[in-house]
Amino acid sequence: MSSDGRLTAVIPAFTLALIAAANIVVGTVALGSFVYAGDLAPYSAHGIRLILLGCSLIALITALASGLRGAVATPPAPLMIVMAGIGAGLALQGDRLFVTMAAITALGALATGLCAALVGWFGLAHLVRFVPYPLACGFVSGTGAVAILVALSQLGVRLEPETLGSLFEPVALSRWGLGVAYGLGLLAATRRWKSPLILPASFAAAVALFHLSLTWFDVSTEEAQGAGLLFAGMAEAPEGALLPLLDPDRLHLVDWVAVAGQVPNILALILVGLLCLVIYLSGLELAGNVELDWNREFRAMGLASMASGLGSGPPGSIVVPITLRNLRLGADTRLAGVFTALLVGAALLFGDAVFSLVPLPLIGGVLLFTGAIMLDEWLIKVRRRLPWPEFAIVVLIFLTVTFFGFLAGVGVGMSVLVLLLILRLAATDPVKSQFTARNRHSRRMRPVPDRGILRLQGHHLRAYELRGYIFFGSAHLLVERLRRSLSADPRPVCILLDFQAVSGCDISAVTAFGRFIHVCDSSGVAVVLTGMPERLASELERNLPPDVHGRLLLARDADQALEVGEDRILEAHASTAGAGGAGSDASLLEIVADHLEAHLDRQIVFERLVEELDAWLKPRDYEPGDTISAAGEALRGLQLVVSGHASVLDPSGTRLAERSPGDAVDPRALVGGQTAQREIRAGDACRIVTLGAADAKWLEENRTALMVKLYRYLAAEERSSPVPRGER
C-alpha cells in the first residue's frame, strides 16, 4: 500500500493539516484585508473569500500534481502586496471597483499560471532556477519592509510630522498599540518556541480577550467598528460575487480601460509570482535536502494558479515552512495537502460571520509579524553569510523595492548584478597558462638535430591556453597583450592560441581576434588555432579576407597545434641557417652532441638485437594511416618499429604518443594474454617486426641470454622514454 494509503499516515496528516489551515486562514485574513483596503474595504470579506477559495484550489491541485508528497501551496505574501498596490491604484467606486479588481486578479493568476505551466511543459525550468542570491534576499526583505509599512498604515500610523501627535489619542493608541504589541509578542514567541500552534492559538486567544475587553468596558460592536477596531459593515456585493468572472452578467461591470492601465502591475505580478516560485523551490531543496523535478513543480503550480484565477483568486507557490513540517513529522503524503485544502475551503462556509468579529489591530499585528520575519531572515541574518559587495546589493534592492516598487527593485538588482558580473569576468585573466616550445613539446618523435633546434629556439613559439567566456570586457585587453608579444625580444615566429577551455565568446571578441590575426599576417607571424568555439570559427571565416583566413593554421587538438608550431620554428631555422643547416650553428652542435651519441648507441644496440632475432621475427609493412593495433584486440606479440613512425591515439583520434625506430609498439605484449589499450596507427610508411608469443617462449627456454638482452633493452627504453608510462 502506498504512503498515501497508510492508516498511520492519516492521523499526522490531518493533525498537521489542521494546524496549517489555521495558519493559512489567519494569514489570508490579514493579507486579504490589506489587499481589499481603502475604497475596497466594504468588499473585504467578499475579497477574502475569493482569496480563500484560491488558497483551497491551489492547495488541492498542488497536493495531487506535485512530485513532492506532503507539499502545500498558497498565494505568497509578496504577491498579495503587489495585489494591494493594484487595488490602491484603481480610481473606481462601488461594485465596478470590486469586479474590476477581481478581473485583474484573475488575469494575473491566469497569466502567471500559464507562464509557469509553459516553463514546465517545455522543460525550461533550468533556465529560470538560477536566481542570484543577493537578488532573492533583497527582493524578499523589501517585501517584508513593504508589509511592515502597510501594517503600520492599517493600524493608523502615518509617519508624518503633522499626524504624530494624534497617535497618542486614546482610540488611536489602543488601535496601533494593540497591533504592534501583538506583532512584536508573536515575533518574540516564535523565536523562543518553534511550535506551529503559536500563531493560530495566540490569534484565537487574542480575539477572545479583545471581545471580553469590549464587554468589560461596555463597548458595542457598532462602536468598535466605527473606531476602526473591527471590520465595518460589508457592502452588498453583486450576486455571484464569489466567482465574478464565471458569471457573464458581471463582465459588463469590468472597466477594461482601468485593466489596461494596470498592465505594468500585472507584469510585475507575473514576475514576482515566478520569482517567488523559484526562490521557494530552491529554499525547499536546500532546507529539506530533497531533489525536486522543477519542470513538474512548475507545471503543478501553473495548473493550480490558473484554477485559482478562474475563481478570481491570486497565483500560488509552494509554502516552505508547512511543507518542511509535513516532511519532518511523518506527513509525507498527499493527504496532508488534500486535508489542508478542504479545511481552508471550509472557512468559506462560515467566513462572513467570522470576519466581522476579527479585530483589525490583530490583523495588522500579523502583517507586522510577517514583515519582521522576512526582514530578519533575508536582511539581518544574511549579513553574516555574504561579503560586503553582495550585501550592499541586497541593501540597494531592499531600499528600491521599499520606496519604488517591485519592478524597479528587480530591475535595479539585475542591472547591478550584471555590472558586477562583467567587472569580475573582466578582472579574471583569460590566459590560463602560457609557454614556449622550449618547455613543452609535442608528442611527435623528432630527429635529434630537430630536438636540439627546438630546445635552442623554442622561445620563437609563444603559446597561450585561454579559458572562460571571452567577451568585450576581456577580449580587447587580451588582444592588446598578445600584440605586445609580437614586439618582444626575440620576435616570435608563431603564436599558438588554445581555446579548449573557452566556454564561448561574443562578437566583440571575434572582432578583436580578427584584428590581431590581421596584424600577425602582415607581420609574417604564423597563427595556430585549436579548440575554437564553433561561433568563433564561423565568424572568423566570414570576417577575415579569404587569403588571410587561408593562411591560418587550424589544428585538431593542442598536441597537433604544438607540432605545427614546431614545424614553423624548424622551417624558420632552415631558412636562416643556409645550406649548412644545423651543422653551422656551434651552439646547436654542443646541445645535440651528447643526445646524438646516445641515440646512435641505442640504434646500434637495437639493430644488433634485430639481426640476432631475425630468424624469429615476422616483418610487415604499413601504409600511412593503416591500423597496426586496434584498441581492445588481443596483442599478437612483441612489435618493434624498424622504420617510419607510428602514433598512439585515444578514442577521439588525439595523438597521445609516437613510436619511432627502436621502440616497442606495446612492451606488455611479452606478458601474454594482453589486449591493446589504445589504437596504434602508422603515421607514415612504417615497417614493423613481430616476435610471436610462442617464439618468445621458445627463446626463453633455449636462447636465454638473447632474451635477457632483449628484456634489458626494453627496460632501459621504458626508463628513458619521455612518454608517460601509462601510454606506452
Last residue of a domain, which of 396, 419, 442? 419
Angle at 145 between CA 144 and CA 147, to 5 degrees: 65
Residues pairing with 634 in the sheet: 675
pLDDT tens readout for residues 4-34: 545 556 777 887 787 778 778 877 887 888 8
d(CA 657, CA 149): 71
CATH number at residue 491: 3.30.750.24
Domain shared by 400 and 503, yes or no:
no
Q: How many domains does the chain have?
A: 3
Residue 281 belongs to a domain: yes
Domain shared by 624 and 574, yes or no:
no
pLDDT tens readout for residues 63-93: 999 999 889 999 988 888 889 889 888 888 8
In the prediction, which pLDDT does 121 show? 94
Domain shared by 19 and 163, yes or no:
yes
The candidate with the shortest Cα–Cα distance to 110, out of 304, 389, 332, 278, is 304
pLDDT tens readout for residues 504-542: 888 888 888 999 999 999 999 999 999 988 878 888 888
The residue with greater pLDDT, 161 or 619, is 619
Query: Which range, 43-47, 111-115, 568-572, 614-618, is most confident?
Result: 111-115
Residue 128 belongs to a domain: yes
Residue 426 belongs to a domain: no
Domain shared by 483 and 576, yes or no:
yes
In the prediction, which pLDDT does 27 show? 77
Domain shared by 209 and 257, yes or no:
yes
d(CA 513, CA 94): 66
Residue 691: pLDDT above 80?
yes
Let me know: does 77 contact 275? Beta carbons within 8 Å: no
Domain shared by 618 and 543, yes or no:
no
Domain shared by 463 and 338, yes or no:
no
Residue 160: pLDDT above 70?
no
User: Residue 648 — pLDDT band, cuts 50, 70, 90?
Assistant: confident
Residue 112 belongs to a domain: yes
Last residue of a domain, which of 395, 419, 443? 419
pTM for the full model?
A: 0.59
Last residue of a domain, which of 360, 392, 419? 419
A 10 A CB-CB count for 406 gives 24
Q: Where are the beta strands (DSSP E) in 476-548?
A: 494-505, 526-530
Lowest mean pLDDT among 234-248, 289-303, 483-497, 625-639: 234-248
Residue 640 belongs to a domain: yes
pLDDT tens readout for residues 255-276: 999 999 999 889 888 988 888 8
pLDDT tens readout for residues 287-307: 667 888 999 999 999 999 999
Residue 588: pLDDT above 80?
no
Residue 139: pLDDT above 70?
yes
Domain shared by 105 and 202, yes or no:
yes
Average pLDDT estimate for 351-359: 63
Average pLDDT estimate for 242-264: 76
Residue 431 belongs to a domain: no
Alpha helices by DSSP H, listed for 623-724, are 693-702, 704-720
Residue with cell 505568497: 76
What range does the domain containing 113 cover? Answer: 3-419
Domain shared by 374 and 477, yes or no:
no
For residue 339, give every residue at least 6 positions away whose Cβ sits within 8 Å of its Cβ, in sequence order, or none.
Answer: 13, 14, 17, 18, 21
